[in-house]
Amino acid sequence: MQDSQKTEKQKMLAGELYLSTDPELVIERQRARRLARLYNATTEEELEQRSQILQELFGKLGQNFEVVPPFLCDYGSNIYAGKNLYMNFGCVILDCNTVHIGDNLLCAPYVQIYTAYHPTDPIQRLTHRELELAAPVTIGNNVWIGGGAIICPGVTVGDNTTIGAGSVVVKDIPANVVAAGNPCRVIRSLES
């Protein structure tokens, strides 16, 4: 399929330059923002309503999850989470591409997961402000992400890994390690 035949959404999910102002994408973002607003307005007593909203918002959501409001995302439908998901206050997922989350993810407050980015060429960026790119993010099973950490586009975090608070993850992090820093790097391996 040639690029001219792809929809902007297909381009977005393929990691190609896409037009973020495409009407289909605008409608999908509005849907996600409406659901996030409704979710963030719920109270701790409205657990069933919270559950229903998140199940409608996410592409897939496993059993036993808790996402503490406020929570924000771009589309929601590109987030695929396993069971036992926990996200603390203020987490943000910019899911312009897919975000695959394994089982037993723990996120401290203000974790940010980004698939979206912009061209680095300033002329292209200024001439076509509505053009964006997105790369998928994958987070393995049994991962803990510390407060304020940022997971950047195209990154994979391996199983059983801990990402330290305030880290900026710009490259893949292997399984069974503790990693931290800006840029995030492996601090030590975990014994098996």
Task: Estimate the crossing angle of helix 23-40 against helix 47-57, to 10 degrees.
Answer: 160
Q: 80: which residues sit within 8 A by CB, 6+ positions away?
A: 58, 59, 60, 98, 99, 100, 101
Asked if residue 64 lies in contact with residue 83, where contact means CB atoms within 8 angstroms, the answer is yes
Distance (Å, whole) CA 138 – CA 30:
25
- Beta-carbon contacts of residue 146 (< 8 Å; ≥ 6 apart): 108, 111, 162, 163, 164, 165, 166, 167, 180
Helix segments in 81-189, DSSP class H: 122-127
Q: Give the span between the Cα atoms of 153 and 117, in whole angstroms.
A: 7
Q: Which of 33, 118, 128, 185 is catalytic?
A: 118
Q: What is the token pair recorded at 91?
A: 């987490």
118 is catalytic: yes
Report the distance separating Cα 72 and Cα 93, nearest Å.
6
Just list the catalytic residues. 118
